[in-house]
Chain A
Amino acid sequence: MVQFLLNNEMVKLQAFAPSLSILDWLRTNMGKVGSKEGCASGDCGACTVVVGDLINGEWHYKSINACLMLVGNLHGKHLLTVEALTTKMNPAVEDLHPVQRAMVECHGSQCGFCTPGFIMSLFALYMNFETYPGKEKVIQALGGNLCRCTGYQPILKAAEKCFSYQNQAAQNIAHKDHRFSKQVQALTISLEKDLALNKIPMIENTASGSEGQYFYLPQNLSQLCELKASHPKAQFVAGATDLSVEFSQRLSYNNQLISVRYCPELMQFNEDEQGLHIGAALPYSEFLDRFSEIYPESHELFERLGSLQIRNAGSLGGSIANASPIGDPAPLFIALNASLELQSIRGNRIMPLQDFFLDYRKTQLAQDEVIVAIHIPTRAPEFNLSCHKISKRIEDDISAVCLVLSYQLDGDKMQDVRCAMGGMAATPALAKNVAQALEGKTFSLENLQNAALQIQVDFQPLSDVRASSAYRLQVSRNLFDRIWYQGSGKIQLQQDSDLAIHSISAIHTRINHASL
């Protein structure tokens, strides 16, 4: 049985198809049709709901795509849907929750189909900030919600306006004195008691009559490894940001699932003298703040990884185990010389990430193994990192090319150069010839440009829907110019063969996109 709160009700589920998404469950089984299906692939945000994690007796809320997250992973959570925000039957504008009221008053809905999703993303923002957090945070929060009618201008206004109302307890369920919140408090106590008694929660699909359909939620790593050993066909699931797309688009359903989200070993984030250790199942958003403090150069790469909903659900382990040729984290972590900790009932092994990928969606992971964590060596003082992502759209798009370069600067010489790229081959991979061409060289435009010529030796990229092969090669070459401009703080400006040196502060090296 899995058990969770839906708005202000307790839900206990014994039997369901393990592949059932929260969205299908809400719309088909619960008659809660406020959350919409726009794409069923996590790209439009119309199904956005808010999920609370119970940490030390307090709920922490975040937005997720209901079309991706599976019902089984709601165990112990608090699911909030658009239906919860206003409890009055025929509300006046003034009766609405502040985010709803602001959307109405700013004319933020036209056709209204994307609106419940925007409301829930705004609601998560509202819950997590006491005052208007600024446009950049708003764009991060809403980058995964598509609107085809408004052009977003009124929604940006609403995101600001919702923080401007006097907070009235009677009308705002985010207020702890609200009747709704009091009900949730009472239910939380009872949920906590029940959770403590439930050793290995699971749901089965008894309804379909199909044998062997299950969704296990092991509570520690040894349980998990044993389950995987005894259920070799079972698939691991964390945020299901890739898996659910297999279900909804390819109609290839695996109904033998083991959740990795309830193993504390896979949900950790530690720092010690060896470096950083990131649990494989830990959602991106849980470690990005700290990670970005250590590696601020990777901030943009992560801000542009999927949407906030995806970052709230997806994990490094999921991305790496899926071995997508274009997953953005892999090039970064290969360049950081990260290694994977793999575990099975047979034991534990550590493998450099660069060796993990074998071919298109093929990895070294054995059938009974799970990725426990990603280990990243401690950052050395002279370590340099440069991350670049090229895609059609800035927000929520998959890379045409992802390029990450790292090196130690010894005086003006580059040492331990590592260059990893995504989108250029069947797997994320090291550009070995590029790195070799830079090893021991001074950091200069000429050396970088010469090394960039090696890209075509390292890779013969494909042409596909995201970019042509020629563009991939050209743009990745040109990115080495950008690396120079951004790394050197200088710029060589060729003007009628006169060389002028400008200080970087006067030169734009990136477009002024709203989110950059």
Chain B
Amino acid sequence: MRHFKTDKPSGSTNNAIGSSFIHESAVKQVIGKAAYIDDRPEEVNSLHAYPVLSTISSGKILSIDTSDALQIEGVVAIYGTQDIPGKNDIGPVFSGDILLTDDVIEYHSQPILLVVATSYQTARIAARKVAIEYQETAAVIDIKEAIANKSWVRPPHALHRGDAQQAIKDATHQVSGELYVGGQEHFYLEGQVSIATPTEDGGMFIQSSSQHPSEVQHLVAKVLNQPFNYITVEMRRMGGAFGGKETQAAPWACLAALAAYYTGRSVKIRLSRSDDFKSTGKRHPFYNTYQVGFDDNGLITGVDIDINGYCGYSPDLSDAIVDRALFHADNAYYYPNAHINGNRCKTNTVSNTAFRGFGGPQGMIMAEQLVDDIAYYLGKDPLEIRKLNLYAPGRDLTPYKQKVEQFILQDMIAQMEQESDYWARKAAIESFNKTSPIIKKGLSLTPVKFGISFTVQHLNQAGALVVIYSDGTVHVNHGGTEMGQGLNTKIAQIVAQTLSIDMQHILVNATRTDKVPNTSPTAASSGTDLNGMAALNAANTIKERLFEFAAKHFDVKPDSLALVDNQLTHEKGQISFAELINLAYLNRISLSSTGFYATPEIYYDREKAEGHPFFYYAYGIALSEVEIDVLTGENTVTRVDILHDVGNSINPALDVGQIEGAFIQGMGWLTTEDLSWNDNGVLASNAPATYKIPAIGDTPAEFNVTLYDSKNPATTVFKSKAVGEPPFMLGISVWSALRNAVASITDYQFAPSLNTPATAECVLGAVQVAKDWLQDQKSGKQGTDKKGTGDA
């Protein structure tokens, strides 16, 4: 059941905010007319380029022979590092991300050369015909090797409050554990693609499926050694991104531009699916350990958590990602004493990157493991331990010293306990498990508290451009990008509400760097918060001009003016919006405006590891019920109830769509999506045949999503809250419920560690550990550790 109205709203235009308008592209998408980059008609003499990718993970290039490739009919040219007019380093924040290599190979499928040909097929075939000799060296794939060697892509950073070790030592009880957290392939349905077309100015026009057009602009300019104003990037829509096109779209745009620069022709690059898998970054896998001290009730007194991100060969965005893992290793729980360290481990794999949650999920899952382990240790219900440790007034300071100011999780959990019948279902499941030897059920409720803002302060800014034409229709551009989340729809609603006109009069389309400059990536769930506010400011600027003009023109009191239902009303009468605009035009009033927004209040002092990195927190809870088969480890999610806080929802249908989609993506991350590398660092799960994202049958049979009734206390656009990432972490409830099902084998006295993804194989392994533990207990084996794994 989906708790919102999907009907097109009718009545007053003053209700644009809060109405479930359909996605602005929905009709175009269902009839096949919504164009993605590869759908654009090609210029008559356009070319295709394809990278030559390394076949080893670590070593050096000894020789390159392109003669066979060049002989293939249709091959135009092959370019390498020596052909790059500007910089070869395209690191987004720190240096170290290399466009092409001619010497050292640091990961499998690293781009070495670029083949340009008259067709896609020819370019791909020729790229494989380039003969390269390597001197191979041992690849570092195991994160423990990187940790032992202190091999980092960026220095470690830690949060600390009090003396965590002492607090743990002094506690009545101690538990420790470890967890391998798997990575995740974005599997955006539209793969990486870019077209570069030379302009008559000598610059470049780039169409790129990118979440960050400004960065593509800057990097293309740097690679070609051209000023920014000669490069224009356009991005109409992406066929999914999820963080995978924040930095990972840029190399292909730069390479297409390189080929276009030399050939003077339009050049397209589109990666095949398996090359996209192999040569673009993924969600960071993590290896984490924890120790926790607590009292008889399960109240936490101290934690020491070590978080290690597999960053791959280069920094990319890993510094901020591991930071966000640190900032979320508390999730929603108060740690009076804490030490949380984060390492950025260097491995010979593709550089891992942003993915919905941006490290947050990999930190947050530790908090959830820790509270579950406390519960099983004490023989208490995990939900009781969760409730006991929630942030609350007086227990409100995070390990990075930001004060938590909104405490709605208590109320949300109470609502869920009642509406979803938590305690009755828990009792029913426990009794089911007693008489069901093969199928075991599990239940778990986990909360999410997710910090909203870029942790890199300067990114928290946005611009918009609102123009009104003399017929009263409106065109809006903004710095955000549309990747399916409905950002353009929400922006149109914000402008419609501000000007009190119907949605049909507003068009929001392609993001272009020559319309709104110096933009931030559409990431960190910030799209609407930032760009919506900028669009609101732009619309308000025009509205003020219109009011000033109308007050004079009609000789009415300014405070009698109002925009209502496509009309301007005032004390003497009314005029339609379109007539007002035409009148303003004839009276030479400016009808376009930029808008700008910068998030207030946020800062972080890295030296002291404290600050106020987040403008506010978004909250949600999920209750998942699962079944496992103890013979095979097969598992399934049978029911999910979600209560999520989006503040004052701008568009409930779109928000629920984000919540449902994020949950399933989170569930996939923790269950079936299994990235597997062989010992040589080659990605074995490199296609949808071997890497399984959830399919339609994996949707829980019962899936209830409810928006929590609240308004954001922070001053966001129409009191709404960000929604892109936070619900992803609701998927952790599935993993926790799987552990709960396994724990039924030990009568909930012990839950084996469950590395993720919890595939059937992984679950069966945990079942075996639980059975062995039970056997040991029965045979009265001494010294059996009741704690989690790790220090046993």
Contact assessment for A104 and B22 in the assembled complex, using a CB-CB cutoff below 8 Å: yes
Contact assessment for A249 and B272 in the assembled complex, using a CB-CB cutoff below 8 Å: yes
Contact assessment for A151 and B664 in the assembled complex, using a CB-CB cutoff below 8 Å: yes
Question: Chain B residue with minimal CB distance to A44?
Answer: B688
Known contacts A113-B240, A149-B661, A107 near B634 by CB under 8 Å: no
- Distance between B408 CB and nearest chain A CB, rounded to angstroms: 24
Contact assessment for A93 and B22 in the assembled complex, using a CB-CB cutoff below 8 Å: yes
Interface membership of A366, Cβ < 8 A: no
Determine the chain A residues whose CB is within 8 A of the CB of B187 once the complex forms.
146, 148
Mark the stretch among A80-88, A221-229, A423-431, A436-444 that contacts chain B: A80-88
Contact assessment for B688 and A39 in the assembled complex, using a CB-CB cutoff below 8 Å: yes
Give the docked Cα–Cα distance between A101 and B20 (Å).
16
Interface membership of A294, Cβ < 8 A: no
Known contacts A104-B27, A110-B485, A502-B435, A513 near B697 by CB under 8 Å: yes
Contact assessment for A43 and B687 in the assembled complex, using a CB-CB cutoff below 8 Å: yes
Interface membership of B458, Cβ < 8 A: no
A36-53 interface code vs B (CB 8 A; 1 in, 0 out): 111111011010000000
Contact assessment for B189 and A151 in the assembled complex, using a CB-CB cutoff below 8 Å: no
Contact assessment for A392 and B674 in the assembled complex, using a CB-CB cutoff below 8 Å: yes
Give the docked Cα–Cα distance between A494 and B765 (Å).
21
Interface membership of A106, Cβ < 8 A: yes
Contact assessment for A110 and B759 in the assembled complex, using a CB-CB cutoff below 8 Å: no
- Distance between A387 CB and nearest chain B CB, rounded to angstroms: 14
Determine the chain A residues whose CB is within 8 A of the CB of B631 once the complex forms.
475, 478-479, 481-482
Contact assessment for A34 and B699 in the assembled complex, using a CB-CB cutoff below 8 Å: no
State which size class the interface on A falls in. 35 or more
Interface membership of B676, Cβ < 8 A: yes
- Distance between A374 CB and nearest chain B CB, rounded to angstroms: 25
- Distance between B71 CB and nearest chain A CB, rounded to angstroms: 16
Mostly, the B contact residues are: loop
Give the docked Cα–Cα distance between A400 and B636 (Å).
17
Contact assessment for B26 and A392 in the assembled complex, using a CB-CB cutoff below 8 Å: no
Docked complex: B118-166 residues within 8 A CB-CB of A: 121, 124-125, 128
Question: Chain A residue with minimal CB distance to B663?
Answer: A151
Docked complex: A93-127 residues within 8 A CB-CB of B: 93, 96, 100-101, 103-107, 109-116, 119
Determine the chain A residues whose CB is within 8 A of the CB of B654 once the complex forms.
107
Give the docked Cα–Cα distance between A315 and B95 (Å).
53
A1-42 interface code vs B (CB 8 A; 1 in, 0 out): 000000000000000000000000001000101111111110
Question: Chain A residue with minimal CB distance to B688?
Answer: A43
A488-509 interface code vs B (CB 8 A; 1 in, 0 out): 0001011000000010001111
Known contacts A31-B41, A139-B696, A153-B2, A112 near B484 by CB under 8 Å: yes
A-B contacts at CB below 8 angstroms, number: 287
State which size class the interface on B falls in. 35 or more
Interface membership of B635, Cβ < 8 A: yes
- Distance between B514 CB and nearest chain A CB, rounded to angstroms: 25
Known contacts A390-B632, A392-B760, A34 near B272 by CB under 8 Å: no
Give the docked Cα–Cα distance between A107 and B653 (Å).
7
Which of A104, A397, A512 contacts B30, CB < 8 Å?
Answer: A104
Determine the chain A residues whose CB is within 8 A of the CB of B65 once the complex forms.
none
Interface membership of A189, Cβ < 8 A: no
Known contacts A148-B240, A395-B695, A81 near B32 by CB under 8 Å: yes
Contact assessment for A109 and B660 in the assembled complex, using a CB-CB cutoff below 8 Å: no
Interface membership of A193, Cβ < 8 A: no
Contact assessment for A151 and B665 in the assembled complex, using a CB-CB cutoff below 8 Å: yes
Determine the chain B residues whose CB is within 8 A of the CB of A92 once the complex forms.
27
Docked complex: A446-473 residues within 8 A CB-CB of B: 464-468, 471
Determine the chain B residues whose CB is within 8 A of the CB of A513 once the complex forms.
634, 636, 697-698
Mark the stretch among B289-297, B300-308, B436-444 that contacts chain A: B436-444
Contact assessment for B22 and A152 in the assembled complex, using a CB-CB cutoff below 8 Å: no
- Distance between A322 CB and nearest chain B CB, rounded to angstroms: 14
Contact assessment for A110 and B697 in the assembled complex, using a CB-CB cutoff below 8 Å: no
- Distance between B590 CB and nearest chain A CB, rounded to angstroms: 31
Interface membership of B278, Cβ < 8 A: no
- Distance between A81 CB and nearest chain B CB, rounded to angstroms: 7
Besides the contacts A81-B32, A153-B660, A509-B439, what 15 more A-B pairs have beta carbons closer than 8 Å? A34-B32, A83-B31, A109-B484, A113-B239, A119-B30, A139-B697, A143-B697, A148-B188, A148-B242, A148-B665, A392-B759, A393-B695, A511-B636, A512-B638, A514-B697
What are some 6 contacts across the A-B interface (CB < 8 A)? A33-B39, A38-B189, A107-B26, A143-B696, A151-B699, A481-B438
On B, residues with C-beta under 8 Å from A are: 2, 6, 20, 22-23, 25-36, 38-39, 41, 121, 124-125, 128, 186-191, 237-242, 272-274, 435-439, 483-486, 627-629, 631-636, 638, 653-654, 656-657, 660-665, 672, 674, 676, 684-685, 687-690, 692-701, 703, 705, 759-761, 764-765
